[in-house]
Amino acid sequence: MRWTPNKVTLLRVLVGFAAVSLFGHRAWANLTAVGLTVAAIALDALDGHLAREKKMATPVGAQLDILGDRMIENVYFTYFAVVGMVSLWLPVLFFARGAATDFLRGLAMKAGHSGGGANAMLRTWWGQALVASRWSRGLYAAMKCLCFCYLGLELALMRGPVALVGDLAADAHAMIRVGAHVLTWMTAAFCLLRGLPVLVEGWKYLAGSAGPVRGAKDAAQEAA
């Protein structure tokens, strides 16, 4: 089978869902889920590598990649919120940010602005650096991987049937919990920071699309 970026993206989503489905069971399942989490993040890097090096990048592929990111983020953070390891507001924040930025990206694509080059949606240097640069994408992927693996290992070693760290003192447990909160909210803060350029520069597409809609509505009211 000839691997394409879109096929790798689909595999990444399946691996991520498989990992989350294994959490909360036996010790080997929890640890396997952590390994699959690392594999899912690695596949995220692989589909981008294929798209760039093999010149297989397409606008649809870019949207599928973003969709894969959203699905992975939401399924992991929702699961950890359900089991009480992170705040419920964390998946809500990721979902709201993703919905807003993807909506604006859709408007920009409809207006013919997507991807890179002269027709890119993001025109400012700081917007391109925060959203599209390799260092930003790599750092964000690494933060999510560390966040998911940290929570997964905590679940496997402290909340599951493995007693490896079950005898830790209360203050050690508290420090591990503090580390989880710091890591997850740092990831959320960077998520919001990367979404800021899209919200700022994408606003003009929302304003530009509102005029014709209002005009059509007014015309319909007058006809009625």
Among positive and negative, which fits the CA dihedral 70, 76, 79, 82?
negative
Kindly report the pTM of this predicted structure.
0.81
**Which of helix, strand or coil describes residue 121?**
coil
Percent of the chain residues topping a pLDDT of 90: 39
**Which of helix, strand or coil describes residue 107?**
helix
Distance CA 68, CA 168 (A): 37
Percent of the chain residues topping a pLDDT of 70: 85
Q: How buried is 141 (Cβ within 10 angstroms: 0-12 exposed, 13-18 middle, 19+ buried)? A: middle
The yes-or-no verdict on residue 224 having pLDDT over 80 is no
Which of 49-68 are b and which e, b meaning 16 or more Cβ less than 10 Å from the residue's Cβ? ebbeeeeebeeebbebbeeb
- With cut-offs at 50, 70 and 90, classify the pLDDT of residue 181: very high
Say which range, 70-84, 118-132, 134-148, has the weakest mean pLDDT: 118-132
Residue 102 in tokens: 């993807």
Domain boundaries, the chain: 5-211
Element (H, E) at 220: helix 170-223
The yes-or-no verdict on residue 113 having pLDDT over 90 is no
Amino acid 60: pLDDT = 78
Say which range, 77-86, 136-145, 207-216, has the weakest mean pLDDT: 207-216
- Find which of 62-66, 170-174, 210-214 is predicted with most confidence, using mean pLDDT: 62-66
Q: Which fold has domain 5-211?
A: Four Helix Bundle (Hemerythrin (Met), subunit A) (1.20.120)
Amino acid 165: pLDDT = 54
Amino acid 118: pLDDT = 64
Say which range, 12-16, 83-87, 99-103, 157-161, has the weakest mean pLDDT: 157-161
3-state secondary structure string across 157-201: HHHCCCCCCCCCCHHHHHHHHHHHHHHHHHHHHHHHHHHHHHHHH
The yes-or-no verdict on residue 134 having pLDDT over 80 is yes
